Amino acid sequence: MKLLKKLSEACGIPGREDAIRKIVSSELKGKVTSMKTDPMGNIIAFKRGSGKGTRKRVMLAGHMDEIGFVVQSIDDKGFIRIHPLGGFDPKTLITKRVMVHGTKSIVGVIGSKPPHIMKPEERGKVPEISQLFVDVGLPGKKVRKTVSVGDQVTLDVAFSPVGDYVTGKAMDDRIGVYIMIEVMKKLRGHKVDVYGVGTVQEEVGIRGAMTSTFDVAPDIGIALDVTLACDIPGANSDPITKLGEGCAIKILDSASISNPKLVKKFVQIAKKNKIKHQMEILPRGGTDAGAMQRGHGAAAAITISIPCRYVHSVVEMISMKDVQAAVNLIVKFIQTAHEGSYEL
Ligand code: CO
Ligand code: ZN
């Protein structure tokens, strides 16, 4: 869990994934055949298979970026306006603590008018993100010394256990990065070639997975990401998935329809090895599978998801049991995959 805490608390908005890439690189150093970073920032760790001849290529993709902001402007009083990267619900942002990453990282808060001075029509109304501002407690002159337009701003919260679960920021998708790292470390005696990829810029439209797919040219692509767990009061919808009920084998979302033969194969392996799993149909949302399926020669793609409550907030909550199930399932899949073991 130490590694997950480190990943969750590290900061990296789309296009600024450096801190997460560093963690991936130091975790996998010496444990894979080779590792490289492409110009866009995707990190690709390669573990060679023992199969003879042309080996199948399996790509695992977990996105390193988290939703966040860049500094749009700084006014003379020092208040910072921000531009979002990724899908925020503005309700979840007001009065949150943030880190502004200039020449050094400084603490700020997303300010809001106190209720005492709100007009009746303002109460209950949610501001737009363009109206939000960050207060770093310094005058404009001082702010400009450390902060520039374009610097990243991330939400700031500590990772922590909560009851049977864990909670923190950026579980979307540091949990996918974590699973990728764990799988790469665990793999032994596999016949296929495996590429563990920490992708960039997923939250702004699955961009890094697209380019890394052209590079890796996978036969099989497995995206690792969170999915909605709406097993909460008042959700008024299908729960999609439930926390603690196992990793989710995705049937479809709005960016990809999982390869049906892969879905079947994963269900078989889960059943045979008594790995707790659930089936997932997500009406809105997508993962790196969408890029792997459409890039290069079109890989057979699937997503193995981790159920997550409160997705795209700073209290994203998951069950480590579901995470363990995902790791076990993917390791089993790769270790039993060999030429002719499945037709896709
Ligand atoms: Co997301
Ligand atoms: Zn994600």
CA dihedral 176, 177, 180, 185 (to 10 degrees): -140
- For ligand 2, the distance from its centroid to the CA atom of residue 90, given in whole angstroms, is 18
Residues 288-331: tens digit of each pLDDT: 999 999 998 889 999 999 999 999 999 999 999 999 999 999 99
CA 105 from chain center: how many Å?
23
Confidence of residue 67 (pLDDT cuts 50, 70, 90): very high
Alpha helices (runs of H) in the chain, residue ranges in sequence order: 2-9, 18-28, 140-146, 171-186, 207-216, 260-272, 289-294, 320-336
- For ligand 2, the distance from its centroid to the CA atom of residue 190, given in whole angstroms, is 28
Confidence of residue 214 (pLDDT cuts 50, 70, 90): very high
Residue 342: predicted pLDDT:
59
Which stretch of DSSP H or E encloses residue 318?
Answer: strand 316-318
- For ligand 2, the distance from its centroid to the CA atom of residue 288, given in whole angstroms, is 8
Residues classed as catalytic: 202
Q: Give the separation between CA 90 and CA 170, rounded to whole angstroms.
A: 16
Residue 1: predicted pLDDT:
87
**Which ligand has the nearest atom to the CA of 311?**
1
Q: Give the separation between CA 236 and CA 105, rounded to whole angstroms.
A: 40
- For ligand 2, the distance from its centroid to the CA atom of residue 72, given in whole angstroms, is 24
Cα–Cα distances in Å, from 251 out to 67, 283, 305, 341?
25, 11, 11, 21
pLDDT at 141 over 70: yes
**Which ligand has the nearest atom to the CA of 67?**
1
Domain boundaries, the chain: 2-66+169-335, 68-155
**Which ligand has the nearest atom to the CA of 177?**
2
Could you tell me the two tokens for 13? 């908005």
Q: Residue 306 in contact with residue 175, Cβ under 8 Å? A: yes
- What's the CA angle centered on 12, arms 8 and 13, to 5 degrees? 120
Beta-carbon contacts of 3 under 8 Å, excluding residues fewer than 6 positions away, are 23, 27, 178, 181
Query: Matching CATH topology for 2-66+169-335 and 68-155?
Result: no
**Which ligand has the nearest atom to the CA of 86?**
1
- What's the CA angle centered on 267, arms 266 and 273, to 5 degrees? 90
CATH class of 68-155: mainly beta
Residue 333: what are its φ and ψ, rounded to 5°? Answer: -60, -50
Residues 225-263: tens digit of each pLDDT: 999 999 999 987 899 999 999 999 999 999 999 999 999
Residues lying with their CB under 5 A of ligand 2, a single-atom ion: 172-173, 225
Which stretch of DSSP H or E encloses residue 248?
Answer: strand 247-252
Which stretch of DSSP H or E encloses residue 34?
Answer: strand 34-37
- For ligand 1, the distance from its centroid to the CA atom of residue 312, given in whole angstroms, is 6
pLDDT at 340 over 80: no
Q: Residue 28 in contact with residue 45, Cβ under 8 Å? A: yes
Q: Give the separation between CA 194 and CA 32, rounded to whole angstroms.
A: 10
- For ligand 2, the distance from its centroid to the CA atom of residue 17, given in whole angstroms, is 14
CATH class of 2-66+169-335: alpha beta
pLDDT at 115 over 60: yes
